[in-house]
Amino acid sequence: MSRIHEALKKAEQERAANQGVAVQPSFAPPPPVADSPLYTEAPASPMAAESLVAGMPVLATPYGVEALLGRCPQLEWRPDLSTMLFMNGDDSARGTEEFRTLRSRLYHMREKMTLKSLLVTSALPKEGKSFTSANLAQVVVRQHGRRALLIDGDLRGPRLHQVLGTTPGPGLAEYLQGKNDEFSVMQRGPMENLFFIPAGTGIEDPAEMVGNGRLKILLQRLEHLFDWIIIDSPPAVPVADASLLAKACDGVLMVVRSNSTPSEMARRARLEFPDQAMVGVVLNGTREDAAPYQRYYYEAYEKKTTEPKA
């Protein structure tokens, strides 16, 4: 064996000498396999600079639905079935048809304007913002392939985590403080394609947090993953948070409560958004017998329909 080896070695040396090059190993070591981390160092940009200042990782963009589904945890929600209309299995429950109509109107408006991120607010507390926000997000994802992100932007009185029956944080507050990235504050529950960012915990200065500009960065990073981003906000008249949140959104949807919201308060609330598109008003809290003919039509139509509604 040694004689064969010496003969091969001698032949290789003679061949190299004739070609005028040094003898090299037959096989080079394979190149190192680079990892593909989700977070990488991005080219310098105003957005990247701001994120680095905040101590937040910079996302390599774009990232897709696979990353969203892979990193966003799925939790066990225990929703309030008396108010979460599309989670109780009754497609004809009172109010469901109204939300389908609202969904259609918003899509019609989208044909004429940029409308993906929507702020839901009201003049005063307890007029139905959270109810409207949550059910609007639910009716969006009832359509096949539609994804919606629901954000609790009411850092003063968060409620959405309660009606959805899930954890209050980490959430928007942690993101705005630079403590968490978007995937670690987002969660999903039993409804396919419905994602949720709760308000979070440890909130000390809500106005300062919602006005620091990071909400806009959050929406820019996520908007390509969703058909709609719906943000529930504090009431517009008592505090300035809603007007600050609206600066990052494409439109504002106002909720007023029947026989409750003073007209002067509704007018003042509208004045809080002089530069934002007011896409409509939702009248909440009407009595069941307030529109008997409309209800009669729905019931007659529903009896003829056997397939579940979107």
Report the first-to-last Cα separation within the chain, whole angstroms: 78
| Local confidence band at 10 (pLDDT 50, 70, 90 cut-offs) | low
Average pLDDT score over residue span 241-252: 97
List Cβ neighbours of 192 (8 Å cut-off, separation of 6 or more): 141
Specify the range with the lowest mean pLDDT, choosing from 6-15, 16-25, 34-43, 169-178. Answer: 34-43
Q: Are strands 228-232 and 187-188 parallel, antiparallel or unpaired?
A: unpaired
Residue 60 to residue 76: CA distance in whole angstroms:
30
Q: What single string gives the DSSP state of each residue in 157-205?
A: S--HHHHHT----S-HHHHHTTSS-HHHH-EE-SSTTEEEE---S--S-
List Cβ neighbours of 29 (8 Å cut-off, separation of 6 or more): none
Residue 225 to residue 271: CA distance in whole angstroms:
32
Q: Are strands 251-257 and 277-284 parallel, antiparallel or unpaired?
A: parallel
In this predicted structure, the answer to whether residue 32 has a pLDDT above a threshold of 50 is no
| pLDDT score recorded for residue 48 | 43
| pLDDT score recorded for residue 202 | 86
E-assigned strand segments in the chain: 117-122, 148-152, 187-188, 194-197, 228-232, 251-257, 277-284
Average pLDDT score over residue span 49-71: 65
In this predicted structure, the answer to whether residue 271 has a pLDDT above a threshold of 90 is yes
For 292, how many CA atoms within 13 A lie in the half-sphere containing its CB? 1
Highest mean pLDDT among 17-21, 284-288, 299-303: 284-288
Q: What is the pLDDT of residues 109-147, one digit of tens each?
A: 999 999 999 999 999 999 999 999 999 999 999 999 999
| pLDDT score recorded for residue 298 | 45
Q: What is the mean pLDDT of the chain?
A: 82
Residues 58/37, Cβ–Cβ less than 8 Å:
no
As beta bridge partners, residue 187 has: 196
| pLDDT score recorded for residue 1 | 46
| Local confidence band at 97 (pLDDT 50, 70, 90 cut-offs) | very high
| pLDDT score recorded for residue 265 | 96
Between 254 and 88, the higher pLDDT residue: 254
Q: What is the pLDDT of residues 218-240, one digit of tens each?
A: 999 999 999 999 999 999 999 99
Average pLDDT score over residue span 267-290: 91
Give start and end residues of each alpha helix (H) in 20-60: 46-53
In this predicted structure, the answer to whether residue 158 has a pLDDT above a threshold of 80 is yes
Between 145 and 21, the higher pLDDT residue: 145
User: What is the SS3 assignment for 256?
Assistant: strand
Number of C-beta neighbours around residue 288 at 10 A:
9
Percent of the chain residues past pLDDT 90, beyond the cut: 68
| pLDDT score recorded for residue 42 | 38
Alpha-carbon separation of residue 165 from 75, 87, 147 (angstroms): 10, 12, 20
| pLDDT score recorded for residue 103 | 98
As beta bridge partners, residue 255 has: 122, 282
| pLDDT score recorded for residue 81 | 95
In this predicted structure, the answer to whether residue 296 has a pLDDT above a threshold of 90 is no
Residues 160/266, Cβ–Cβ less than 8 Å:
no
| pLDDT score recorded for residue 53 | 40
| pLDDT score recorded for residue 15 | 55
